[in-house]
Amino acid sequence: MKIGIISDTHLGISKEPFKTETLTAFKESIQLFKKHKVDLIIHAGDIFDRRTPKQEFSFFFLSQIIGLKVFAINGNHDIGGVFGRKSVLNMLEESLGKFDINPLIGTRWDRMPKTKVYSNEKINIIGIDYIREKDFLRELSRIAELIDPDKKNFLVMHQNLKPFYDEGVPLEEIKKHGFDFIINGHLHNPQYESKEGVLIVGSSSLTRFSPQEFTEKYVWIWDNGRIVQKKVPNIRTGKVVKLDLRGKNPKEIYDALKDLDTGEILYVYLKLDERIDLSNFIKDNIHFKIEVEKEKRTFEVEKGGMIVMDAVERAKSLLKDKTSIDVEKYFSLLEEEVPPNTILTQLLK
């Protein structure tokens, strides 16, 4: 039996070049699965980038998976909003369940609607939607009766997972429940630990300007217990460029920058003596982070304009003393990619 595995497709992301990249990656991934004749596909969450994506992206998703079998869970970007609003996945499950052509497989457990189950003669898949860590552990403790000792038991989840992330659900707690294979979305960089029986699926394409995410993108195939990694074709992986142009005059700076746009997705670290107009070099696929020597500060550049005020200045101007939060500390922690819960804890000290 072959199972295709994918996660964090973020269909419907509004910002280019990521809007196009995510659509291309999903289409290419599905074609890979078809080529390798998988029996079903597991999607480990964040199908869409927004809780209420435009209809065109819901239709795109369905158009690609019609005729296939897809077991999918809700990621943090998919889960329903306030006032009990259902996620797009939940609405699709309910509406398509009335038809024979429904590609979405699995049944919501009536005792725990965030838990979903699919079973055949060989495998037993249990999926848990993204929820708070303490709720996840409680949900996990209740599903012992769903484990089938005569089949391969898969757990599909969408959480921060220790030790692959500083905070999150401890892997050791999950392993106590007897799963043969653990599949986790949410973390965008792929990792497979064969000894632990854990697959961090990773995103199928770039979703933001983040050097940490600038890696090759893969989908996976579980082939009767063997894991096969398949590179997603025809997408861009991102490139980091570092330029120290201190001591250069504007013409020399512009000459150094003019050959940057080769069509790649670029994150450009730039060192300058002072602010300069970069409007001719800001493209959809290029992001600048600039250290200005004269001001001893780091700035971001928005598309189409001058070097803008840095994030701290912008936040202060928006907040206008309406909060007691230390804004500078908040953004310094954010810059270090400290987990949100840790940021909140440190700010409240």
What the chain holds in terms of domains, given with CATH numbers, is: 2-231 (3.60.21.10), 239-347 (no CATH)
pLDDT at 327: 53
User: Which pLDDT belongs to residue 304?
Assistant: 43
Q: Which has the closest alpha carbon to 140: 176, 193, 185, 90?
A: 176
SS3 35: helix
Give the pLDDT score at 260: 87
Beta bridge partners of 322: none
| Mean pLDDT in order along the chain per 10 residues (349 residues) | 97 92 97 97 96 89 94 90 70 78 87 89 95 88 89 96 85 90 94 90 94 93 95 94 95 91 91 86 88 87 49 50 53 53 52
pLDDT confidence of residue 303: 60
- Residue 322 has what pLDDT? 46
The pLDDT value given to residue 65: 95
Radius of gyration of the chain (CA): 22
How far apart are alpha carbons 199 and 179 in whole angstroms? 13
> How high is the pLDDT of residue 328?
56
